Amino acid sequence: MELSKEDCLRMYFYQSRLATFSGWPFDEDCACTSENMAKAGFIHTPSDNSPDVAQCFFCFKELEGWEPQDDPEKEHQSHSPTCHFIMLKKSVEELTTEELFKLQKERQKFHIKKICNQGIEKFKEAAKSRRGDIIKKAMEG
Q: Which CATH architecture has domain 5-140?
A: Orthogonal Bundle (1.10)
Q: For residue range 12-67, what is the model confidence (pLDDT) as tens digits?
A: 999 999 999 998 999 888 999 999 999 999 999 998 888 899 999 999 999 999 99
Q: Per-residue confidence at 77, pLDDT binned at 50, 70, 90?
A: very high
Burial 71-100 (b: 16+ CB within 10 A, else e): ebeebbeeebeebbbbebeeeeeeeeeeee
Query: For the purposes of burial, counting CB atoms within 10 Å of the CB of 31, is it exposed (0-12), middle (13-18) or buried (19 or more)?
Result: middle
- pTM, rounded to two decimals: 0.81
